[in-house]
A and B are shown apart, each in its own frame.
Chain A
Amino acid sequence: MPTSTIEMPATGMPAKEIVPPSVAGAAVVVREAQFSDYDAIAALMQRYGMESYARADWEGLWRGNPVYQRRGGDWSLGWVLESGDGRVVGFSGNIPVACCFGGKELTAAVTSAWVVDADYRSHSMLLASKYFAQKNVDLLLNTTAIHVAGQIFRAFHAKPIPVQGLETALFWVLDYRGFAASFLARKGVPLAVMASYPMSIALAGAAAIKGGGFSGRDLPGVKAVEDFDERFDEIWHLLKARTDVLLSVRDRETLRWHFGRSLKSNGLWIYTLETEGRLTSYAIFQRQDKADVGLTRMRLVDFQSVDANPLILDAMMAAAMRRAKTEGVQMLEVLGFSGAVRSRLEKLAPFRRQLPSQLYYYKALSKELKAQLTNSQAWQPCSYDGDSSL
């Protein structure tokens, strides 16, 4: 046994690996994260301006997770870096997510909430090394990669998802004045509220020229619902019959776990359409504000339909926009999607913004899956995948 490994069977804690001192001079330890690390991880995330979950919600990412439950908790929550004086100076979460592809259920390990104290940044590679060393999964997935994380993923032979347009967000402005004020605040413009007036006029003019409204695109039968009922199991049964596309599992149990936090905070809008008494389409919109700059935002995080009629998406977008306007939401945004859905949204979106980097990276562990996932047709990425909307 290497001298660097300390077994701690008496406490049930995982083995720790001692690594050389960091540039800050303190020895750094990498070990599996525990639920008891919550306070330290939340504090670290807050120091770096990341949204941290309430304890119950954070634990729920695993304890309430159907895959974690099926595995009886035999799963790493993630890994922490500890400094020599026992402080948590880094964390990367590891969330199990079920997917379907080729008629089989696969397990993806989704990396989440990656944060490392500035003095210990080089040790990010230790967290990455632990994450990529996992063997009990089919797929490693990152759907929220910032530039550095993307480079680290590339070094570990992860690949960007081979779908065009993923580095561009599409959006509709619903409150021009409020949106302009938050945009200028984000850019650090003094007196952003005052300065927002001319910008809002320009935005409204641009939107009018480009079009992109969904008014008049209503469809009888589109209904808002409050929760995921048994009809979602029925449509999932139909959706997963398509075996040539990698789909994150969308049964009722998984949807309720995935969106549990948003459902509790009324931050989720679900629109459905039934055909002959059966659920055939749904869209999910999630509130994703940026409070620090006063931005209020809804995102289309999922759209599924067993009917190819493009008017269904239009009608659900129209319904969400109407509600967003009445609730003071400044913008509606879309990340991801592919094929006809993406094309439709691109055609109608008046605005788009370049994301700082490609957000979606994956690494398949088996050669067979690796080969299959090089095909862009195998992907329908959206914000439901990974941790973007957890």
Chain B
Amino acid sequence: MTSTPQIPSYEDALPVVYKGLDELNQQRPRNQRLPATPECVLFGDSGNLNSLELSNFIVLIEQLVHEKFGVEVDLTEGDPFSPESGHMRTAGTLAAHISNLVREQA
């Protein structure tokens, strides 16, 4: 018997992103920690994650999505860093993308 993945809403996905941010923040100096808000910039204008942090963050979030919702997602598909529509722009855009991805796979 296989379990049906939970279909998350944006509100369900946001804590997953925050958990990832929390783990990321533990590796950063106190004054450079990222806020757990939907507006938190991950990549672009005022984002200050370097490429190594972004890479590790992507891997971490994919693991957390699998643990939480039971599906494997690829956050690098599409155009993740587009300034207009990229899902890696903010915590909020990432959460919305996760919600959509999991729904598509459910």
**Chain B binds chain A:** yes
Contact of A157 (CB < 8 Å), options: B48, B76, B82: B76
Q: Which residues of A contact B81 (CB under 8 A)?
A: 19, 125-126, 129
Is the Cβ of A133 less than 8 Å from the Cβ of B79? yes
Bound Cα distance from A20 to B42, whole angstroms: 12
With A19-B44, A20-B44, A122-B43 known as contacts, the answer to whether A4 contacts B84 (CB < 8 A) is yes
Judge whether A23 is part of the interface by a CB distance below 8 angstroms.
yes
Pick the 6 closest A-B CB pairs, nearest first.
A20-B44, A155-B55, A124-B51, A20-B45, A155-B58, A151-B55
Within 8 A of B (CB), among A138-156: 148, 151-152, 154-156
Number of interface residues of B (CB under 8 A): 24
With A18-B83, A21-B45, A133-B79 known as contacts, the answer to whether A125 contacts B54 (CB < 8 A) is yes
Judge whether A326 is part of the interface by a CB distance below 8 angstroms.
no
Bound Cα distance from A23 to B48, whole angstroms: 7
A157, closest chain B residue (CB): B74
> Chain A 119-138, CB within 8 Å of chain B: the 1/0 string?
00111111011001100000
Within 8 A of B (CB), among A1-52: 2-4, 17-21, 23
User: How many A-B pairs fall under 8 Å by CB?
Assistant: 67
List 17 A-B pairs, Cβ < 8 Å.
A2-B85, A3-B84, A4-B83, A20-B44, A20-B83, A122-B54, A123-B51, A125-B55, A126-B81, A129-B76, A129-B79, A148-B52, A152-B52, A154-B55, A155-B56, A155-B76, A156-B76
Contact of B55 (CB < 8 Å), options: A17, A116, A133, A152: A152
Within 8 A of B (CB), among A177-204: none
> Which DSSP category, helix, strand, loop or mixed, fits chain B's interface?
loop
Task: List 14 additional A-B contacts (Cβ < 8 Å) besides A19-B81, A156-B76.
Answer: A2-B85, A4-B82, A4-B83, A20-B45, A121-B50, A122-B43, A122-B48, A122-B51, A123-B51, A125-B43, A125-B88, A129-B76, A151-B52, A155-B54
